Amino acid sequence: MKDKKGLNFFLLIIVILTGSKLFNHFDFQNFKFEKPMLDMVYLLSFVMALFVLLKDYFKRPQK
């Protein structure tokens, strides 16, 4: 029987919310953020949550 882990729902919500905020705050005409310091915090939390989410998802069970 395989023991397959699913996605972490809490981290998935964090990734979706921070990613949408980054997308909304980015000005595509000037390639700048509206609030640079706040958006760097969003970017850092987005990258860290995405890393942990993908690390747990692709972690292979050992035999």
Q: Distance from first CA to last CA of the chain, Å, rounded?
A: 12
The pTM score is 0.78
CB atoms near residue 48 (< 10 Å): 14
pLDDT at 60: 63
Rounded CA separation 56/63 (Å): 17
Which tens digits make up the pLDDT trace of 11-58? 999 999 999 999 999 999 999 999 999 999 999 999 999 999 888 777
The values of phi and psi at residue 27, to 5°, are: -95, 110
